């Protein structure tokens, strides 16, 4: 892995926004499916270096916050704790990368108040 390079899935704000994902949707009608030829593109782009590909997608912090906001009042305490833990993991692992693209994970977390 190259140091100080923003991971592609951070730049794209999640695997769902990647050209490989768009190709998957065109071929199969779903955003995430399983096609080894397309997942190979995830390897070439470098996302697999971080453990992510279409079969194991990176979920952008904004996606988690959007879902929590949509489900307000319907989520259990455990659901909220899972969201908080995942957002904390994103901050820990990729917080510096998000800052490089002008996004504060702390500000996103404040949006949902967890």
CA distance 1 to 44: 12
CA distance 93 to 102: 16
pLDDT digits (tens, 9 = 90+) for 28-77: 776 555 566 778 889 999 999 999 988 889 999 999 999 998 998 899 99
Orientation of helix 61-70 relative to helix 77-100, angle to 10°: 150
CA distance 75 to 17: 26
pTM of the model: 0.69
């Amino acid at each position: 892995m190259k140091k100080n390079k923003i991971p592609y899935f951070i730049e794209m704000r999640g695997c769902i926004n990647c050209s490989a994902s768009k190709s998957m949707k065109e071929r199969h009608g779903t955003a995430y499916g399983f096609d080894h030829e397309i997942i190979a593109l995830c390897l070439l782009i470098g996302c697999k270096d971080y453990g992510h590909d279409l079969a194991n997608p990176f979920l952008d912090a904004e996606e988690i916050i959007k879902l929590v906001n949509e489900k307000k009042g319907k989520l259990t305490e455990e659901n909220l704790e899972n969201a908080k833990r995942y957002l904390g993991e994103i901050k820990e692992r990729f917080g510096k990368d998000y800052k490089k693209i002008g996004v504060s994970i702390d500000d996103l977390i404040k949006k949902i108040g967890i």
